[in-house]
Amino acid sequence: MAGTVAVIGRPNVGKSSLFNRLTGTKDAIVDDMPGVTRDRLYGEVAHEGRSFYVIDTGGIYGEDTEFTDGIRAHVEEAVRECDAVIFVVDGREGITGSDEEIAGFIRRAGNKPVVVAVNKLDDPKHDDLANDAYALGFENVIPVSAVHKRGLYELLDAVNGILPPDDEYDEYDDYDDADEIRLVIAGKPNVGKSSLLNKITNSERSLVSPIAGTTRDPVDTRTVIDGQAFRIVDTAGIRRRAKFDGDLEYYSFVRTLGAVDRSDVALLLMDAREPCTDQDKKIAAHVVRKGKGLVIVVNKWDLVSGGSKADEIMKKIRDDMPFVSYAPVIFASALNGRGVAKILQAAITATANRKKHIPTNVLNRLMRDVLAFDRLPSDRKGRSLKVYYCSQAEGEPPTFIFFVNNPELVNGGFENHVKNKIRELEDFTGTPVRTFWRGKEKE
């Protein structure tokens, strides 16, 4: 499970610009007006074989405004809940009283490991200005320029150095069971995740309540069912960011992403009365991005009226979420246990399919099918795609590398056609299939 790093600092020191550079996105709004960021954004950062979630926070005001109390509460919660802090200061302005105040409550909020990013030092000749930041009392001080991408590698090195080891995020790392299947139970609040966990394990491992958001932290349970070992994680419900009730729910959301990251298969629970919500789609998209197995569970089937039929819900799922058409759909009731055995069997199948490897002779047949495509993609200059050969890479999920004359000629329609052909050759139910296109001259 990935660690979390909070980016904090007073207004207009460049926190959002730094967040965008680290995550390679433009998710954070950047503006010269102090206080633009009032909520929190998260993104994933990978560096030197490690990954962690970084969280952009609102600036802490030196003077009272209508947002002061709320922003200060957000940031204080960020410091308490994160694993490490990137404390951003303005190197051109120097250390201010507000910076010293922030340093004080970082220490009061749990003395988390800190890297001070002295921002806006666009030229190396100004790096000596970063020395003033040592007065804040933190050992790690890195001169950076978010605008000019200076010092980011050194900053990430420093963050990796202060984050706890990866195995500290997993309370069951003492187990070394190669046959163990890691399941994550994910879904929007109050969809029955904790009830499903309790039904699977025949226990009261998770608190069950009709109040949405009862589960705050992921809960790990290790169990053996019919000889198969499972590690099951019940997660907090994911809501749209605008509907977060408080700081704890926000951090529960981030931890849910981490729980998905360390799973083999995700059980995406939907409410039979309201399937395919925006939250459902976002969870499924994250599972696909991470290459995890997926089983869609339509829960609370016992509450659906007679007028709603399984085929209608199935059609809605396939129409609204075509990007996970490979995922099995199980109609279940965590309350009475209906369909629970099918859920576990589907998870076992998805796990096995993620490990499948297509033999070379079968891949050669795939090549014939691909080359027999009615019209290979081409561009406006008349250049057509040529596919020389393909190979399956090691690892999970199943990943296929195609060597072609020009990867830019591959369009979405052709790529989907190839993936469908791969699925015709082998049963990959429950797992995504990845394809990569690399340029290579024909030998």
- CATH of the domain spanning 3-167, picked from 2.60.40.10, 3.40.50.300, 3.50.50.60, 3.40.190.80: 3.40.50.300
Q: What is the model's pLDDT at position 231?
A: 85
Which pTM does this prediction carry? Answer: 0.64
Residue type for 305, please?
Answer: S
CA proximity to 258, closest of 24, 114, 57, 50 = 50
Under CATH, which number does the domain 360-439 receive?
3.30.300.20
411 token code pair: 């369009």
Query: Rounded to whole angstroms, how far apart are CA atoms 166 and 257?
Result: 15
Sheet containing strand 265-271, strands side by side = 219-225, 228-234, 181-186, 265-271, 293-299, 329-331
What are the residue boundaries of the structural domains of the chain, listed by start?
A: 3-167, 173-354, 360-439
pLDDT per position in the chain (443 positions), as tens? 468 888 888 888 988 889 888 888 655 444 443 433 334 567 788 888 888 888 877 544 444 444 355 556 666 766 776 889 999 999 999 999 889 988 887 888 767 899 999 999 988 888 899 999 999 999 999 999 999 999 999 999 999 999 887 655 544 444 446 688 999 999 887 888 888 888 888 764 443 434 344 333 444 677 888 888 888 875 644 444 444 444 444 555 666 677 788 899 999 999 999 999 887 888 899 899 999 999 999 999 888 865 568 889 999 999 999 999 999 999 999 988 899 999 999 999 999 999 999 988 888 888 887 777 767 888 888 888 888 888 899 889 999 999 999 999 999 888 998 999 899 889 999 999 999 999 875 44
Distance CA 415, CA 373 (A): 11
Task: Name every residue whose Cβ is closer than 8 Å to that of residue 5 and which is 6 or more positions away in sequence.
Answer: 45, 52, 53, 54, 55, 82, 83, 84, 85, 86, 159, 163
Q: Is 173-354 in the same CATH topology as 3-167? A: yes
Output the pLDDT for position 49: 84
- pLDDT in the model for residue 302: 86
CATH code of domain 173-354: 3.40.50.300
Amino acid occupying residue 441: E
| CB contact at 8 A, 255 and 218 | yes
pLDDT of residue 253: 61
